[in-house]
Amino acid sequence: MKAAELKTEVEEIPEAECLDILGQHSLGRIAIVADGQPQIFPVNYAMSGRIIAVRTASGSKLSQAPDTKVSFEIDEHDASAGVAWSVMVQGVAVDATEAFDDVSWTARAAAAPWSLAPGAKPHLLAIEPTIITGRRFQVRPASAT
Amino acid sequence: MLDLRPGQLEILNEQDHVKLLRSHDLGRIAVVDREARPLIFPVNYFFDEGVVVFRTAPGSKLELAPGAYVSFEIDGWDPGQEVGWSVLVKGIAHDVTSPRGAPTGRMRFWPVRPAAPGSREHWVGIWAYEITGRRFMSDPRALTENLHESS
């Protein structure tokens, strides 16, 4: 089957629905620019309103994130439903461990943004979204190339 | 790979990286845009010979990746085993749509199968210069210790 014959299109997910989806998951990836290069790290997270809260370890690459532009992404491929989607949040990272700004307070109110990975993670990183986008599509048949 | 105990973290070796990269086909690429923002895009890929190859349509990935330092990531979480893992690839991306030699010519025959609709006529390879990976088993007892003590 040629791609042109497929009826399916990529659908944009509205921001409000993206926030709903973000609230229903707890594993995502954060991208930062460190050492002049984009780097990706899988993280557990929790939402507090529009704010994404992530726990980080001392001295980790993610400790370079505060006050820089970051992106956060979740995605899923539901093979049984034949649907794939992804949500990307662009924003600025804030060290919310002790700060008194609104974003930090909001992040600290997130429900237990625990980390499943071992190791102490005493710092709380908040991502304040500036752009939230999502897309969803029907997966094309495996025979297509 | 090890038989993990709860709370144990394993640093994966090169053989593990290759095995995981070759047994999956969905990952995420991170690129930096012109305003120094990192962007993440899920892509279907194929890995061989130290190169991650994906296909794309004209757009952000094609504008930003070729010639640039990029990162690529795959991960997994098995809720039954409580085991998570990830492999991170750092590399330099090149447009391999028009092959310039034997290695890039071969890549055009690799089984890169985009799941997304639409034509993806451009092929991009990420030449890895560093691959790292880790695997862990979560420790339920440690989770409460990790909770934030703000309340």
Number of residues that this document lists for chain A: 145
CA distance A11 to chain B (A): 10
Instruction: Judge: domain B11-145, CATH 2.30.110.10.
Output: yes
- Using a CB-CB distance cutoff of 8 angstroms, which residues of chain B are in contact with residue A77? 26, 115
Query: Could you tell me the pLDDT band of residue B143, with boundaries at 50, 70 and 90?
Result: low
8 Å CB contact between B87 and B73: yes
Scanning chain A, the segments in alpha helix (DSSP H) are: 15-23, 102-108
Inter-chain CB proximity A40 and B69 less than 8 Å: no
Q: What is the pLDDT of residues B19-72, one digit of tens each?
A: 999 999 999 999 999 999 999 999 999 999 999 999 998 989 999 999 999 999
Inter-chain CB proximity A116 and B115 less than 8 Å: no
Inter-chain CB proximity A40 and B73 less than 8 Å: yes
**Choosing among A26, A33, A40, A51, which should be mutated to test the B contact, i.e. which has the most B CBs within 10 A?**
A40
Q: Give me A100's structure tokens.
A: 């008194």
- pLDDT recorded at residue A3: 46
What CATH superfamily is the domain A25-138?
Electron Transport, Fmn-binding Protein; Chain A (2.30.110.10)
Inter-chain CB proximity A77 and B26 less than 8 Å: yes
How many whole angstroms separate alpha carbon B29 and alpha carbon A131?
Answer: 18
Q: Span A85-96, mean pLDDT?
A: 96
Domain ranges of chain A: 25-138
Identify the CA nearest to B7 among candidates B137, B145, B146, B117: B137
- Using a CB-CB distance cutoff of 8 angstroms, which residues of chain B are in contact with residue A114? 143, 146-147
- Say whether pLDDT at B150 is over 70: no
Q: What is the pLDDT of residues B86-136, one digit of tens each?
A: 999 999 999 999 877 777 888 988 999 988 888 888 999 999 999 999 999
